[in-house]
Amino acid sequence: MQKNALVPLLWLSILSPIAGFSLGSQRRQQQQQLVSARDFQSPTSLSLAVHSSNNSGSTTFPVSVRAELLKKAKELDRNLADGKSLGSYSPNGWSNRVGLALTPAALPGVYTGDRPFYWNRIDVGCRMCVIQLENSNDLWVHSPVGLDSATKNALNKLGTVKYVVSPNYEHLKFAEQWYKEYPDAFMWGCPGLAEKLPNIEWEGEIPTGLLRPTREDQKQNCWNFNEIVPLHLDMEVNPFTGKPFFNEVIFFHRPSKTLMTTDLFWNYPQPEGVPNSHLNDSGEWELAPSVSSVPIGSLLWKQGMDKVYLPFYKNFMVNNRSYYDEVKKIILDEWNVETLIPAHGDIIRGKEVIREVLSRHLS
């Protein structure tokens, strides 16, 4: 991921009262360090207490679903298989809360690769999605992160990488690495990406202006658009260049009712490190534990995105309001989203809360 032409807008927030956190010096020192795991009671009992007061669990995230996802996580990581609460891949922090190479996220077959991503020493986080396609051993990869042996081993346990998708102009740093590692995979990008990355032999690009794919829109050597639905956000430009800045394509996985975004939506954590503490239903559970703190730089970045960039995007970058409204209609009224997976920040679950959050974000 690259953050270039619009980055000065974010730094305006750091210099403004918007970012004026009332933190004591001791608190600031703690937040400047990488986040660490918080000691808390048994993850199972905590999750049940957060989501439900009875044994059946939350209707938006039932105990049975959480148990199945945890089971799949144990199949991928030796620490969890041995009964430990944190994974063996990396130290945990807000941008990889449980320390796994791949984390089960939704059923059926949705996994995430959660990673820190540093811009000028600020962890802005980044997340890849991996989906096991129906009736095959094939894997579909969205917004790929850096490849290492642990990630490749986890992928091998799930299936064969068949499609690698770079969904916008910013989430492309690791595309060439995946192209070289998986020469038999089909590389797909957002409109215009092939020109930006000519070293990659692209199989194709998502069609410009694709809103509701039909059978006629289906491409050769491509996944089934009815299973993972693409939607091109053909509605924004960089006001300084007159050209698309992100040119993002978002995706909806019908079997799991999961929406995947890169830069259209984000969900950075609050200072206390509890996932989704700003929502009515906490997102804390076995595979998304709280952390003791969030670095000050990440908190300032959140303020910049929420208070400076988002209003700028809506007021100065969206250049096709009718198209924007149609995108909102599809997301809010047609897709029936039950799991929202942003590339930056915590996953959100539950139709009602997702609709409320996206309605507010896209208003």
Amino acid at the residue 7: V
Sheet holding 110-115, edge to edge: 103-106, 110-115, 126-132, 138-142, 160-166, 186-189, 204-205
pLDDT, greater one: 278 or 2: 278
Q: What pLDDT digit, counting tens, does each position of 108-130 carry?
A: 999 999 999 998 899 999 999 99
Torsions phi, psi for 128 (to 5 deg): -100, 150
Is 177 part of any domain?
yes
Q: Is the pLDDT of residue 2 over 90?
A: no
Q: What's the confidence (pLDDT) of residue 42?
A: 32
Is 201 part of any domain?
yes
Q: Could you give the CA distance from residue 261 to residue 52 in angstroms, rounded to a whole number?
A: 28
In this structure, are strands 126-132 and 228-232 parallel, antiparallel, or unpaired? Answer: unpaired
Q: Is the pLDDT of residue 156 over 80?
A: yes
Q: Is the pLDDT of residue 281 over 70?
A: no
Q: Is the pLDDT of residue 44 over 80?
A: no
Residue 192: alpha-carbon gap to chain centroid: 22
Q: Could you give the CA distance from residue 69 to residue 67 in angstroms, rounded to a whole number?
A: 5
Q: What is the mean pLDDT of residues 156-160?
A: 98
Q: Per the structure block, which two tokens stand in for 284?
A: 């804390």
Q: Could you give the CA distance from residue 189 to residue 178 in angstroms, rounded to a whole number?
A: 13
Q: What is the mean pLDDT of residues 346-354?
A: 95
Q: What's the confidence (pLDDT) of residue 45?
A: 31
Q: What's the confidence (pLDDT) of residue 58?
A: 57
Which residues in the chain belong to E strands, given as ranges? 103-106, 110-115, 118-119, 122-123, 126-132, 138-142, 160-166, 186-189, 204-205, 228-232, 249-253, 258-261, 339-342, 348-349
Neighbours of 138 (CB within 10 A): 17
Q: Per the structure block, which two tokens stand in for 56?
A: 């059946």
CB contact at 8 A, 104 and 126: no
- The residues that bridge with 165 in the sheet, in sequence order, are 142, 188
Confidence bin at 59 (pLDDT 50/70/90):
low
- The residues that bridge with 25 in the sheet, in sequence order, are none
Quick check: pTM over 0.95?
no
Q: What's the confidence (pLDDT) of residue 325?
A: 97
Is 108 part of any domain?
yes
- CATH number, residue 220: 3.60.15.10
Is 353 part of any domain?
yes
DSSP tag of 345? B
Residue range(s) defining the domain that contains residue 220: 7-17+29-362
DSSP tag of 348? E
Q: What is the mean pLDDT of residues 196-224?
A: 96
Q: Got the DSSP string for 81-108?
A: HTT-SS-SSS--BTTBTT--SSEEEETT
Q: What pLDDT digit, counting tens, does each position of 11-43 carry?
A: 444 444 433 333 333 333 333 333 333 333 333
Is 22 part of any domain?
no
Domain count, the chain: 1
Is 51 part of any domain?
yes
Determine if residue 235 is left, alpha or beta; phi over 0 gives left, psi from -120 to 50 gives alpha, anything else beta: alpha
CB contact at 8 A, 355 and 330: no
Residue 28: alpha-carbon gap to chain centroid: 27
Q: What is the mean pLDDT of residues 59-75?
A: 93
Torsions phi, psi for 74 (to 5 deg): -65, -30
Q: Per the structure block, which two tokens stand in for 261?
A: 């975004």
Is 172 part of any domain?
yes
Neighbours of 221 (CB within 10 A): 11
* Cα 10 to Cα 73, 287, 309, distances in angstroms: 36, 31, 6
